[in-house]
């Protein structure tokens, strides 16, 4: 679907949804956006359609409507631009609707501890809402260089597919599998140098999708919230670290910037493709370890190391490259 429709979307976007670079952009040539329309449609339609064939996907039809609504708002933002208040309001509304109809966090296991924690309804609902809104925005923030968001979508989708198949949810596994396929098809046009960008239509939808997928398939497994985080850990950690860093420095956190780790690596001289490959390797390692931990084949210390150690190394390496780059300048 992506391979066939992205060229069609590009012809429309060249007239209606151009991303003109500014001093805070990572690209230098005006490029159309909105190429993620097939990804957003795949996520929404798959969630709704697969629910017709299984009872193991909670809130499937409503989930699909929520994803479609966020995708439409994202598409309008790509084409015409929307204020922060409108976008954030829609995201909160989508998160609350998802908690009501798809699910909330009922229990969670802390890696290293044997017994899971049962969460009161209010606590579980609030945590789920914060998680959904947070990942929706984190994914959008991380869609800043060629190929990065598409790779995360493909790898996380395949990781979810493998996990669900391993526990016998083969029909439900079709949902993330289809999304992964849509992301892989899109990468044909988004790899550096990209001929079209994903746009908010897909970045926000993918963030919402991976945040709510864990709620839709959680069942009685308290380990699912952990692997849901691990599968997108590079995006969550980069976005959280950067947000906190800017907040501590007294910067306007709502203002566009180029201070994410992946952006700083590009500024320090690395190509979009190289940074994307580095992050993709991190994504694969975290996802594979997360699956084996979920299956009980690896200890929690391995999970923690695979999730956090690469990010700490990336932060240190980025700072070192920036110092060297400054000296050369």
pLDDT (tens digit, 9 = 90+) per residue, 7-59?
999 999 999 999 988 777 777 889 999 999 999 999 999 999 998 888 888 89
What is the number of residues in the chain?
329
pLDDT at residue 325 in the model:
83
- pLDDT surpassing 90 at residue 245: yes
| Distance separating alpha carbons of residues 121 and 118, to the nearest angstrom | 9
| Distance separating alpha carbons of residues 322 and 265, to the nearest angstrom | 8
**Average per-residue pLDDT for the chain:** 94
Q: Indicate the number of domains in the chain.
A: 1
**Dihedral angle at the C-alpha atoms of 80, 84, 86, 88, nearest 10 degrees?**
130
- pLDDT surpassing 80 at residue 62: yes
What is the average pLDDT across 193-212? 97
pLDDT digits (tens, 9 = 90+) for 122-181: 999 999 999 999 999 999 999 999 999 999 999 999 999 999 999 999 999 999 999 999
Considering the entire predicted model, what is its pTM?
Answer: 0.95
pLDDT at residue 156 in the model:
98
pLDDT at residue 224 in the model:
94
**In which element (H, E) is residue 316 found?**
helix 300-328
pLDDT at residue 327 in the model:
80
Structural domain of residue 220, as residue ranges? Answer: 2-328
Query: What is the percent of the chain where pLDDT is above 70?
Result: 99
pLDDT digits (tens, 9 = 90+) for 105-117: 999 998 987 788 8
């Amino acid at each position: 679907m992506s391979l066939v429709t992205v060229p069609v979307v590009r012809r429309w976007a060249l007239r209606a949804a151009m991303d003109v670079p500014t001093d805070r952009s990572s690209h230098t040539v005006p490029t159309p956006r909105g190429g993620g329309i097939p990804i957003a449609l795949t996520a929404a339609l798959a969630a709704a359609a697969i629910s017709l064939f299984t009872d193991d996907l909670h809130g499937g039809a409503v989930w699909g409507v929520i994803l479609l609504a966020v995708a439409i708002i994202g598409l309008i933002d790509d084409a015409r631009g929307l204020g922060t208040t409108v976008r954030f309001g829609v995201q909160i509304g989508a998160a609350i609707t998802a908690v009501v109809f798809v699910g909330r966090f009922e229990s969670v296991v802390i890696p290293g501890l044997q017994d899971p924690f049962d969460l009161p309804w209010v606590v579980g609902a609030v945590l789920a809402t914060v998680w959904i809104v947070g990942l929706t925005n984190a994914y959008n923030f991380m869609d800043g260089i060629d190929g990065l968001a598409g790779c995360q979508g493909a790898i996380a989708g395949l990781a979810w597919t493998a996990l669900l198949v391993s526990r016998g949810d083969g029909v439900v596994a079709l949902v993330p599998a289809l999304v992964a396929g849509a992301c892989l098809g899109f990468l044909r046009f988004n790899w550096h140098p990209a001929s079209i960008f994903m746009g908010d239509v897909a970045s926000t939808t993918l963030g919402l999708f991976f945040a709510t997928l864990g709620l839709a398939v959680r069942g009685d497994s308290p380990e699912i919230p952990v692997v849901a985080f691990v599968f997108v850990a590079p995006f969550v950690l980069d976005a959280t670290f950067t947000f906190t860093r800017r907040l501590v420095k007294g910067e306007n956190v709502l203002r566009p910037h180029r201070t994410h780790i992946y952006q700083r690596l590009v500024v320090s001289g690395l190509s979009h493709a190289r940074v994307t490959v580095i992050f993709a390797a991190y994504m694969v390692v975290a996802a594979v370890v997360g699956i084996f931990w979920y299956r009980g084949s690896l200890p929690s210390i391995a999970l923690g190391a695979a999730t956090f150690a690469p990010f700490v190394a990336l932060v240190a390496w980025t700072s070192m490259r920036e110092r060297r780059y400054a000296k050369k300048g």
